[in-house]
Chain A
Amino acid sequence: MSKAADNTIKKKKVKTVPIWMGILVFLVAFGAGAASKFAITPKWTKDYSVQWSDELGTLKTDLPYGEGEANKFDLYLPKDNTKEAYGLAVYLHAGGFTSGDKIGDREMLSWLCSKGYVAAGINYTLRTETNNASVLTQSDEIKAAIPQVIAAAREAGYPIDKMTIAGGSAGHALAMIYAYRDAGDAPVPVVFTFGGVGPSCFYKEDWDNYGLDQNTEESDLAAAGLFSAMLGEMIPVEEIKDGSYIQRMKPISAAAYITPDAPPTVVAYGTHDRVQPFKASLRLKAALEENHVDFKYIEFPHSGHGLQNDDALSRQWMAAIEEYLDKYMPVK
C-alpha cells in the first residue's frame, strides 16, 4: 500500500465516531425513551391522583359484605366528619372480570375522598377456571354490597344521602349495570355514573374485535362460549343464530336498562379498543341520546382499551367527571 493511501485510511478512521460508542448511546437513549413513556406523565394528572395519608381522613379496609372470600370493601372517610350528610363515591376495579383488586384504585379513591366524599372500593368474586362467577353474579354482589357500604359509613358517623358509582373496564361495566339496572333498589339516589371502556351490551356483530361478527359456525360457537361465560348460563349456539341470545344477555347489558330516569353519565371509549367492542359503546351513546339523559361521551380516536394515546382528551374526561360531580353531588 502506498503511503498516501495509508494516510487516507487513517484520516477516515480518525474522523468517524467509534461504532461501539454509537451503539451504546443508541441503547441508552432507546431505554431512556421507553422508560420516559411510563415515568413522565402530564402535570394535570397530579390533580386527580392523590396519595393516601391520614391527613385526608380515615381508611377502613377489608370490611365484609358477604360470605365470599372476595366480598370485602374499603371505606375512605374524609377528615371533616361534621356534615349532616355525605355523597358516596363507589369505584369498581378493572381486570376483565378475572383479576384486579380494589387496592389498585387507591389513588382515585383517595382523590374522591380528598374532595369530601365518602369513597368506597368494592371487591367482587373473580371468575376462575374452577368457579362459576360471572358478570351476573358479580353485579349481584355489587348490588348486595351497596346497602352495607352505606350502613358502614353511617355507623362511622357519615350518613349518606346520595351516591355515584364508577369504574374502569370490567368495573365500569358493573358500575353501569348498577346505575341503570339496580339504581331503583339503591338505599339512596344514584345521581351520577362515570367510567371508561366498560362493555355495555352484547350484540355479536359489535364484537368484531374477537371475530364474533363473522356469521360463521365457528364465530357463532365462539360467541356462545364467550357470552355463556359472561352470563354464567349456557347459551346454545342456536340462540346465537336466531338472535334470542340478546334477551338472555339483558341482565348484564347495562345499555338495555337506560330510561329517561337513568342517572347522568360521563363515559370514555377508545376507537381502536381490542379488548371490548367500541361499536357497543355507540349503542350506549345512542341509548343515552334517545332517552335524553344528561351525558358526556368522549371518544379517544387514537387509543384502545387503555385510553393511552390521547392525553388531551383524558384531561377533558377528568374535567367532565369533576364538573358532573360538582353539579350532581356537590360537597356542601
Chain B
Amino acid sequence: MTLMQKRLLILLIVAVIAFVLGRLAVRAVMNLLLGGTLFGGNFL
C-alpha cells in the first residue's frame, strides 16, 4: 500500500465516522425535543 493510499484510507475512515456521528447528532437533538431512543429502529 503506497503512502497516498494509506492517507486516503485514513481520511475515508474519518469521513465515515463523522458522517455517522452527524446523523446520530441530529437524532439525539430530535430525541431531546420529541423523545426517542438513540439506537434501534431506523438504521443510524
Contact = CB atoms under 8 A, between A and B. Distances in A.
Contacts, number: 116
The B interface, classified by DSSP as helix, strand, loop or mixed, is helix
A197 B38 CA distance: 20
Given A302-B40, A309-B40, A309-B42, A274 B35 contact: yes
Interface string B9-44: 011001111111111011100110111110111100
B40 A25 contact: no
A33 interface: yes
A274 B16 CA distance: 31
A43 B14 CA distance: 28
Q: Chain A contact residues: over half helix, strand or loop, or mixed?
A: helix
Interface residues of B, number: 29
A308 interface: yes
Interface residues of A, number: 38
B22 A29 contact: yes
Nearest to A310: B41
B23 A308 contact: no
Contacts of A274: 33-35
Contact of A275 (B14, B27, B35): B35
B14 A305 contact: no
Contacts of B31: 272, 304, 309
Interface string A10-40: 0000110100011001111111111111100
The 7 closest A-B pairs by CB, nearest first: A304-B35, A33-B22, A302-B41, A29-B18, A274-B35, A272-B35, A33-B19
Given A33-B26, A272-B35, A305-B35, 11 more contacts: A15-B6, A25-B11, A26-B14, A32-B22, A36-B23, A304-B30, A305-B34, A308-B34, A309-B27, A312-B42, A313-B41
